[in-house]
Amino acid sequence: MKKTCALLMLILLLAACGGEKGADTPEQAATNFLEALQSGDREDIYAAITRTEGESFQKIDERLDYNRWDDSNISEFKIMGTELDGNRAKVTVLVTREIAEKLVQAEELVVCVQEQRRWKVTFSASSKTFMPSGKRPE
């Protein structure tokens, strides 16, 4: 009986630790998201955003013939603060972007939600400047 209990506890611990992607804190979720945008890595972007939004973007991206995430103009970013409200957090970020060959800084908002005890970003509530156009470059 002790061995069975110990084995069951080990299985539960492994399931809790490794199964879900996401972050331990809203700040880490925002960092994961912004680093993924900087790199243009679709899989990292999908892992950083909520499941429903990630699945939706994946379906659309499968129909496109290029990676729309490659166009990020984020040079650097710095987490400025977090406002926590239950399972939702607003992370204020100072973002430096290259626009018309000039570096421009602006405070932007990354909204995170808890999804299965892990923090992920929700595009729909975050600053619209993070959303790529979705149009093929000419």
Q: Which domains does the chain have, with CATH numbers?
A: 22-129 (3.10.450.50)
pLDDT score for 11? 36
Q: Cα(5)–Cα(79) distance, rounded to whole angstroms?
A: 43
7 pLDDT more than 80: no
84 pLDDT more than 70: yes
124 pLDDT more than 70: yes
Phi, psi of 133 (to 5 degrees): -65, -30
Confidence of residue 13 (pLDDT cuts 50, 70, 90): very low
pLDDT score for 6? 40
- The token duo for 8 is 């069951």
